[in-house]
Structure 1
C-alpha cells in the first residue's frame, strides 16, 4: 500500500523535497490512513509534515471526541497539529447555506489559513486531502447528474494550484476504500466514524449508498473503470486546452479603458473560422480571464457570447460577476462594468398602505424588455419608495446573494405566477431550509431582535401567506436560486425620502 502510494505521488509531482505538507485529518478512515502513510514516507521523500483538524460543532460530544482522537494520534506519532473549532450551524444560518456546504467552506478556510502562514517561510506548501477512487467516482457522477462540462467528467485533480506556492494534493486518489480499510486493519489502527456519512439526505451519501453498489453489480470494476476513463479524458482535455490557448492568442487582444480596466477584444472573423469546440473554449477562457474566477461560468454564458457573432453593433449580454459582452463592429468586447454602489444604510420604511398585486400582465411586459432593462413598482405610499425589477438570463455573483440587503435575486419560474407587496398579517411564515420547515414571521422578528414598533412597517413580498422576501432581511428558501434556475428576477427596494 505504501509503495503504491509512493508510485502515485512521484510521477504526479505531488510532493517534492523540502515541501511542507499539511494533512487534513478528520479522524475518519481515509484521513487516518493518509496520515500514517505520509508519516512513513516523510523521511524517504524528505518533506515536513503537520496536521490540521477542524471540529465543526455539529455532532456535539461525538465531534469533540473525534478532535481528541486526532490530537492523541498526532501526539503518539510526534506530528504537530492545529485544531480549529468552528460554528457551522450559525454560519449556515447567517449565510443562507446548507450545513454540508457551510462545513466545507469553513473547513477549507482553516486549511488555507495554516497553509498561507507556512508559505511565508516555505517554497512549497501542499494541503493533503484524503480523497480516494470512490470519492472521485462520486464526484464525477454528481457533476454529470447536475450538468457539467469536460472538467466535471475529468473528476478530482491529483494536484491543484491554490495561490502562489500553495497547492491541494490527493495522494490516495489511486487507491480504493477497501484497500484503505485493509491497510488500517493490518496496522491495527482505530479510526472515527461520522454518523452523518450514512444519512442519504445528502446527495453524495445517496450516490455512495445507493448508486455505486448498483454499478458494482453490473461490473465489480466499475469504480476503477470510471476513474481510468476520467484520466484519459483529462489527457485529452489538457491537449485540447493547449490547442485552444494557441488560438486564443491569435483571436483575443487586451486593451485598457480610461479607468485602467481590462477590455478583452474577440476578433469575430477569426473566431468564426474556428471549429465550434475551439471557439467555445476561446470564449470561455475570455470570460474567466475577465472575471478572474471560474465558478458560475457555464455553457449558457459561452453560448450567449457566441450568439453575438451574427448580431449588430451595440447588442450585448450580461454575464456573471458584473461582466458585459458587447458587439462593436468586427469585435466582441468583454469587460467588467463599473459597479453601482448600493446604499448600505438602513432604510426608513414607510407603510405599504394597500396590498399591491403583481399579476401576469406585469411579467409579460418584463419578458418583452431587452435583457437588463428594469420595470418600476411604485408603492403609492406618499413617498418616493419603489421597487425596481429586471429579468436576468445569466448567473449572479454568489457574493451578491449575501451582501446586498436591499437587492435580492429570486428564481423567476417560482415567482412569475404573481406575488403581493404588503405589510405583515397573522399567519405569515417563511420557509427556512431545504427540508421545507416553516418559521412564523413573528418568531423570525423575535429571533432577529426587530423592534415591535417596526414590524408593522417592513414591506413584504408574499405569495398568499408564504413570504418571498422580508425586505432588508432574508428571502424564503423556496425562492432561492438553484442549479436548476434558468431565469433570475432581480428586485431592489429603494426607500425614497
Structure 2
C-alpha cells in the first residue's frame, strides 16, 4: 500500500528531476474529474504552500455523453470549490469539430482540449499547464506507437515536460493513484467510454497489457525506464540532426529548402533519415525511403510527397518543398537615381548614374554590377525569363538564356523565377548571377551605371 506521504514525495522527486515547477508559479491544472486528474489536483494543492503556487483548474465539457458530461462538469466544479481553487469551465461541440476537420472523436477532443487549455493559460497568465498522465498512459502510448509503426521518437512515449505542459504523475502507476484516492477518501468520475475495446488505446489497456504483465509483472516500470533512456538518446540525436541540417542546407525560402546532396550522402544513413524526418515531420516511412533512394542514385527526377509537397533531385542538390508558381511576366520599369521596391519579386533595387566611380571601392559581386552607360539603351526594367530569350555571358558567346542557365546547373523551378535586369536591347544582368558582355567598363568609360540589390527576400532562392 502506498501512503500519502510516500506518493507525494515521489511526485516531488519527479518535479525536481525534470524541473517541472518553479517557486511562485501560476499553474493551470486540467481536470476531467477522473482518478488521475483528481489525484493531481489534490497533490498539487498539498504542495502549493511549499512551492508558493497559485493554482487554477480547467474543465472541458466535451458534450459527448449527454447527462454524464454535465454531471462531470458539476462534480469538478464542486470539488474545486471544496479546495478553494478557481475553476474555469468550458464547453465545446466536439462532434461538430470532428466532422469539420474529418477527425476521430478522440483526436478531435484532444485538439479542442489543448487549444482551450492554452487559450485559458494565456488569459490567466499562467506559467504552465499540469496534466494527469501517469506511467500506465505512457506504456499505452509506447505500445500504440509500436503497433502503428514508429521510429525512436515514438518509443519515447509521453514527455514529462513539453513547452509549457508538465506531467508530475508520469512516473506514478495507476494502481498507486487509485490507492492514494482510497487513502484520502477522494471520489472521482468514471468515463464509460474508456472501457470500449473498439478504441485502440482502450484495447491495449484492457486486453494487451494484462497479457504482457504475465511475462513481466513490472511491465509499466520497465517501459517507463525504457522511455526515459530513449528520450535522452533522442534528444542527443536531435542535436546532431540540427547540426547536420545546418551543414548541408544550401538555401531556405518560403517554398522550401535545398540540400547539398554530396554532403548529405557523406553522413550515416540513420542521420540522413532523421534529417528528412526533421524537415518533413508529417511524412511516412515509405516517402522518406523514396527520397533516400533518389538521393543515393543521384537521378534527376521528382517525387510527389503530398498534394502540395514534392522532392526533386536537381543536379548535385535536393529540393524539398512546394512547387514555385510561374510568375506573371510583366516588365517593371526601374528609374535611375532612386531605390525601387518590387514587392511581387521581393526585391529592392537601386540604380545610380555616376560620372566618376572608384572601381576599387565598389564591390562587384552577386548583389552589384557596373555598366558603361553610353553602351546601354534605356529605359531599364526588371522581368522574368521569356521564350526565345538570348544572352551574351561576359567572356562568352551569345546563346539561348535557357542554355546558359542549364549550363550553370540552375534548376528549372529557379530558372522560371530569376529576375532579369534589362534595357530595350536585351538582358544586362541575371540578378544574383551572370552579367552580360554588353557595356563593359573600359578606360574610355565616362558615365557609369551602378546597379545594386539592396534586399532580396527569400521568395525565390538565388542559386545562379
For 2:238, the equivalent position in structure 1 comes to 241
* Alignment partner of 1:266 is 2:259: yes
- In 2 relative to 1, CA 8–273 (structure 1 residues): closer, same or farther, beyond 3 Å? same
Structure 2: 5+ residue runs without aligned partners?
1-6, 327-464
Matches of 2:250 and 2:48 in 1, distance apart? 46
* Alignment partner of 1:282 is 2:275: yes
Q: Could you list the structure 1 runs, at least 4 aligned residues long, displaced by more than 6 angstroms after superposition.
A: none
For 2:372, the equivalent position in structure 1 comes to none
Look up the SS of the partner of 2:198 in the other structure.
coil
Look up the SS of the partner of 2:133 in the other structure.
coil
For 1:349, the equivalent position in structure 2 comes to none
Cα RMSD, aligned residues only:
1.9
Instruction: Give deviations 1:334-375, integer Å, cap 9, x for gaps.
Output: 2333589xxxxxxxxxxxxxxxxxxxxxxxxxxxxxxxxxxx
* Alignment partner of 1:44 is 2:50: yes
For 1:351, the equivalent position in structure 2 comes to none
Matches of 1:249 and 1:101 in 2, distance apart? 34
- In 2 relative to 1, CA 153–188 (structure 1 residues): closer, same or farther, beyond 3 Å? same
For 2:132, the equivalent position in structure 1 comes to 130
* Alignment partner of 1:33 is 2:35: no
Report if aligned partners of 1:264, 1:333 keep a CA contact under 8 Å in 2.
Answer: yes
Report if aligned partners of 2:265, 2:296 keep a CA contact under 8 Å in 1.
Answer: no
Report if aligned partners of 1:322, 1:339 keep a CA contact under 8 Å in 2.
Answer: no
* Alignment partner of 1:228 is 2:214: no
Instruction: Give deviations 1:206-230, integer Å, cap 9, x for gaps.
Output: 1111111111111210111111111
Report if aligned partners of 2:33, 2:188 keep a CA contact under 8 Å in 1.
Answer: yes
For 1:159, the equivalent position in structure 2 comes to 161
Instruction: Give deviations 1:195-245, integer Å, cap 9, x for gaps.
Output: 111111111111111111111111210111111111111122222222222
Give the TM-score normalised by the residue count of structure 1.
Answer: 0.61
Match of 2:60 among 54, 62, 65: 54
- In 2 relative to 1, CA 92–243 (structure 1 residues): closer, same or farther, beyond 3 Å? closer
Between Structure 1 and Structure 2, whose CA radius of gyration is higher?
2
Look up the SS of the partner of 1:10 in the other structure.
helix
Report if aligned partners of 1:23, 1:51 keep a CA contact under 8 Å in 2.
Answer: yes
Matches of 1:330 and 1:275 in 2, distance apart? 18
* Alignment partner of 1:253 is 2:246: no
* Alignment partner of 1:216 is 2:213: yes
Match of 2:323 among 323, 337, 355: 337
Structure 1 residue 255 displacement after superposition: 4.0
Structure 1 residue 16 displacement after superposition: 1.4
Match of 1:301 among 287, 292, 295: 287
- Give aligned pairs, total: 320
Instruction: Give deviations 1:272-328, integer Å, cap 9, x for gaps.
Output: 1111101111222233xxxxxx3x222223222212214556411223472222211
Report if aligned partners of 1:2, 1:37 keep a CA contact under 8 Å in 2.
Answer: yes
- In 2 relative to 1, CA 219–314 (structure 1 residues): closer, same or farther, beyond 3 Å? closer
Matches of 2:41 and 2:47 in 1, distance apart? 10
**Counterparts of residues 7-406 of structure 1 (less than 5 Å):** 7-119=13-125, 125-161=127-163, 167-256=164-253, 261=254, 263-287=256-280, 294=281, 296-311=282-297, 314-320=300-306, 322-338=308-324
Look up the SS of the partner of 2:18 in the other structure.
coil
Report if aligned partners of 1:128, 1:168 keep a CA contact under 8 Å in 2.
Answer: yes
Look up the SS of the partner of 1:274 in the other structure.
coil
Look up the SS of the partner of 2:321 in the other structure.
strand
Asked which structure has the greater RCO (Cα within 8 Å, sep 6+), the reply is: 2
- In 2 relative to 1, CA 339–55 (structure 1 residues): closer, same or farther, beyond 3 Å? farther
Instruction: Give deviations 1:431-473, integer Å, cap 9, x for gaps.
Output: xxxxxxxxxxxxxxxxxxxxxxxxxxxxxxxxxxxxxxxxxxx
Structure 1 residue 99 displacement after superposition: 2.2
Report if aligned partners of 2:60, 2:113 keep a CA contact under 8 Å in 1.
Answer: yes
For 2:434, the equivalent position in structure 1 comes to none
Structure 1: 5+ residue runs without aligned partners?
162-166, 288-293, 341-497
- In 2 relative to 1, CA 308–104 (structure 1 residues): closer, same or farther, beyond 3 Å? same
Look up the SS of the partner of 2:33 in the other structure.
coil
Matches of 1:126 and 1:174 in 2, distance apart? 19
Matches of 1:286 and 1:321 in 2, distance apart? 17
Report if aligned partners of 1:308, 1:332 keep a CA contact under 8 Å in 2.
Answer: no
